[in-house]
Amino acid sequence: MSLVISVTLFCLLVAAITVYGYRHYSKPAQLYEQLAGGSSMAAGPQFRPMQGPQSANPIITVIRHVGEKVPISPESATLTRRYLIAAGYRADGALKVFYGIKVVFAVALAVAFWTIHQYFGSGVNMSIFVTAIGAGAGYFAPNLMLDRLISKRQEDLRLSLPDALDLMVICLEVGLALDQAILHVARDLQITHKALADELTLVNLEMRAGKRRSEALRNLADRTGEEELRRLTAVLIQTDRFGTSVSESLRTHSDFMRIRRRQLAEERANKVGVKLVFPIFFFILPSMLVVAAGPGLLQVFKYLFPLMKTFH
């Protein structure tokens, strides 16, 4: 049984090392190959449809084949694809890879839970129950990871919006149209705010493909799900509809966003005192009592208890 546990832990360690190596070494290598091929930022921002695993990776290929065998309802597939797009994964095979990861996680955790229970517990019914819990946890764990990726990407978009609006205002004031301003902002933010640059590039590509500006902006808000982007698109659509000054509207909206960010920071700072009550009471205060009163209590136990025994 110890051999099975060792093999399971070894397989999990190999998987973790593989994922870490791919994220930190394989992707930079692909980027260097693209740079060596002569791609230039002067030709416009390089838009990649998916920020994730490429189909050339054999592990991702196997996971995709596993995901193809999973029965998915059209409603679930549509909703999951929308979540993947909000997280930045737009490739055609992203949905299959995601469901393949869910199946692999379910099998891995089911085997791990069954192995641990066989080593520490007993009983067939309990073993089946523990295995089912592991399979369920492994199947739904990627959903939690996806939600976290969506939240992180929305935060990145929200924090990068004021800089993008300032650049857009500058482009509009020098005489560029809104479409050209969006293109220049997407090109300039490729390094510092890549997520927003990709979204703005996609907006520009949709307008080039023939979509109306209002429709492309609404698609931007629907893809990301970020409230600040929804407000920005509403401002741009209303400005374009009524013919008011776009630069003045964007400057006002940028100032509003900075004030709102400062207010949110102040709100979080004011909540720190309340949130620190429980850690202080349960962790810091007992340690301080042990350090401050510990020597005195030891002296009391050493001299007072023997003295009390003499009174009997």
Percent over 70 (pLDDT), the chain: 80
How many other C-beta atoms lie within 10 A of the C-beta of residue 308?
9
pTM for this entry: 0.67
User: Rounded mean pLDDT of 144-162?
Assistant: 89
User: Rounded mean pLDDT of 203-208?
Assistant: 88
220 to 7, 141, 167, 236: CA distances (angstroms):
47, 28, 19, 12
CA triple 261-263-268, angle to 5 deg:
95
Using CA atoms, how far apart are residues 54 and 60, in angstroms rounded to an integer? 7
Q: pLDDT (tens digit, 9 = 90+) per residue, 26-43?
A: 444 444 444 344 333 334
Q: pLDDT (tens digit, 9 = 90+) per residue, 266-284?
A: 898 888 888 888 888 888 8
* Cα 263 → chain centroid: 24
Q: pLDDT tier at 20 (50, 70, 90 boundaries)?
A: low
User: Rounded mean pLDDT of 225-244?
Assistant: 83
Decide: 45 and 190 in contact? Cβ < 8 Å.
Answer: yes
Q: How far apart are the first and last CA of the chain?
A: 58
Q: pLDDT tier at 302 (50, 70, 90 boundaries)?
A: confident
User: Rounded mean pLDDT of 75-101?
Assistant: 87
* Cα 245 → chain centroid: 36
pLDDT at 83 over 80: yes
Q: pLDDT tier at 45 (50, 70, 90 boundaries)?
A: very low
Which position has the higher pLDDT, 56 or 143?
143
Using CA atoms, how far apart are residues 75 and 160, in angstroms rounded to an integer? 33
Which among 261, 258, 244 has a CA at the least distance from the CA of 172?
A: 244
- pLDDT of the residue at 44: 44
On average, the pLDDT of the chain sits at 78
